[in-house]
């Protein structure tokens, strides 16, 4: 699948800088970031303590908790 993205000049410059820092061209780096986002978003976290075990075991209407739902940023939004 081919996708064309129109980004702001600022975002384009940042993406290009980050890609250069990682030794990749901009398109390859953008693809990596997108792939990592979706991989991370669907990876379930392993509970580390009793509170997290209880939270993960809670019935959320049949939907499993995604890793993105257990981040500090998501909880405090």
Report pLDDT for 31. 92
Cβ atoms of residues 33 and 6 within 8 Å:
no
Q: Which tens digit of pLDDT belongs to each residue from 22-74?
A: 999 999 999 999 888 877 655 566 778 888 777 777 655 555 555 556 666 66
Tell how far CA 26 is from the center of its chain.
18
pLDDT bracket for residue 9 (50, 70, 90): very high
Q: Match 């939004």 to its residue by tokens.
A: 77
Domain boundary assignment for the chain: 1-42, 44-77
H, E, C per residue of 2-69: CCCCCCCHHHHHHHHHHHHHCCCCHHHHHHHHHHHHHHHHHCCCCCCCHHHHHHHHCCCCCCCCCHHH
Report pLDDT for 69. 61
User: Is the overall model pTM greater than 0.85, yes or no?
Assistant: no
Report pLDDT for 47. 75
């Amino acid at each position: 699948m081919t996708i064309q993205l129109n980004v702001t000049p600022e975002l384009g410059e940042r993406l290009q800088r980050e890609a250069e820092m990682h030794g990749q061209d901009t398109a390859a780096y953008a693809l990596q970031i997108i792939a990592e986002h979706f991989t991370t978003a669907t990876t379930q976290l392993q509970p580390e303590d009793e509170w997290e075990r209880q939270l993960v075991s809670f019935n959320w209407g049949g939907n499993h908790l995604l890793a993105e739902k257990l981040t500090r940023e998501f909880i405090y939004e």
